[in-house]
A and B are shown apart, each in its own frame.
Chain A
Amino acid sequence: MAMSVWAPALWAVIETYDFDTELQRKRYHHYVEELRCPKCQNQNLSGSDSAIAQDLRRQLHRMIMDGKSDTEITQYMVDRYGEFILYRPRFQAATAALWLAPVAMLAIGVLVWWRMAAKNRRARNAPPELDAAQRRQLNELLDGDDSQGASSGRGEP
């Protein structure tokens, strides 16, 4: 069972590609991490052994060796597989909610925190005034406490 779970990860990338420069190698590795395998939903190209991921890696290598720019490569992938293939989708009307939701949530969080903090500060700075009835009650409590303390006989010589 453990074998069958781990096996795909072990096979993952079987082919090796040659690059002329370090930059080409870096760009390739950046793209196989950033591009999503269209077949397997939640794996990137580097982690997938599906036929389509192999083809896309080969195509990616070819485009990098041909000196294609990042914009050209990204556009090539999106033209074929849609925004889905980008783990970091570009900012568009359709992806706006995706990009803006975290900012909006943070803003709501900050707003709530700020209001709660302001309320706390107000409460601490201005101790509540007691009305006449409350004052009487307080005095009674204090007096009662006093007499109780006396009647307990604690500390009497």
Chain B
Amino acid sequence: MQRVKLFIPLIIFAVLAVVFFLVERRVQTGDYSPTALPSALLDRPLPEFSLTTLKGEPIRKDQLLGDVFLLNVWATWCPTCHYEHPFLVELAQRGVNIVGVDYKDGKPAAIKWLEDKGDPYTLTIFDPEGTLGLDLGVTGAPETYLVDAQGVVRFRYQGALDAKVWESEFAQLYNQYQSKGAVQ
């Protein structure tokens, strides 16, 4: 018994080493990201807002509902958004409904960005003060929310949305909520 007691620190060390190693491996394979926080909005309705679009028309939450859509938070000052943009254009061409939120940005720069790079958004909400971003619990751009036909947030992804992320995280959920919305 006394012998076993001597080895307790070594056993604790070994157990911790294994745990840390496994977590680190999940980080490296991309299974787990310590910076990705669960959204507080998950399975809750999209917050109400009253803003204007980039074109200057007033826009409210009710006008967005009726179909599944992606809410993509972006800005011209965000380098990752630059990387993400071509895939959003491709998604829009495939018929995915994407609503943009131009987050803490300047209007002329944002309009030029969409003219130059193509506009994947059915409409873009202009959020210069970041008030909608705050209500969404945005931590930075880009972030993409999957919102169902009833306006309930079903998924949030932080970071660039590319083909790989779409396939692994979004595609199934998107199809699932789209078919659900069609039945009702």
Contacts and interface: CB of A to CB of B under 8 A. Distances in A.
Contact of B104 (A38, A51, A79): A51
Given A41-B34, A59-B134, A80-B134, A51 B40 contact: no
A78 B40 contact: yes
B83 to A, nearest CB: 19
Interface string B118-154: 0000000000011001111111100000000000000
A84 to B, nearest CB: 5
Given A55-B133, A56-B134, A59-B134, A82 B140 contact: no
A52 B37 CA distance: 15
B interface SS class: loop
A50 interface: yes
Contacts of A80: 40-41, 134-137
Contacts of B41: 80
Q: How would you classify the secondary structure of chain A's contact residues: helix, strand, loop or mixed?
A: helix
Query: What 5 pairs between A and B have smallest CB-CB spacing?
Result: A80-B137, A82-B40, A38-B139, A39-B139, A55-B130
Interface in A40-58: 41, 50-52, 55-56
Measured as residues with beta carbon below 8 angstroms from the partner, the interface class of chain A is: 10 to 19
A81 interface: yes
Interface of B: 34-35, 37-41, 104, 129-130, 133-140
B35 A41 contact: yes
A82 B130 contact: no
Given A50-B140, A51-B104, A52-B138, A38 B37 contact: yes
B137 A55 contact: no
Contacts of B140: 39, 50-52
A64 to B, nearest CB: 16
Interface string A9-51: 0000000000000000000000000000011010000000011
Contact of A81 (B34, B35, B40, B130): B40
B139 A79 contact: no
B155 to A, nearest CB: 15
16 contacts: A38-B137, A38-B139, A39-B139, A51-B130, A55-B104, A55-B129, A55-B130, A55-B134, A80-B134, A80-B135, A80-B136, A80-B137, A82-B37, A82-B39, A82-B40, A82-B137
Contacts of B130: 51-52, 55
B78 to A, nearest CB: 10
Given A55-B134, A82-B40, 16 more contacts: A38-B37, A38-B137, A41-B34, A51-B104, A52-B134, A52-B139, A55-B129, A55-B130, A59-B134, A79-B40, A80-B41, A81-B139, A82-B37, A82-B39, A82-B137, A84-B37
Contacts of B39: 82
Nearest to A83: B40
A39 B159 CA distance: 12
Contacts of A81: 37, 40, 137, 139
A55 B136 CA distance: 13
Nearest to B136: A80
A38 B134 CA distance: 11
Contacts of B34: 41
Nearest to B138: A52
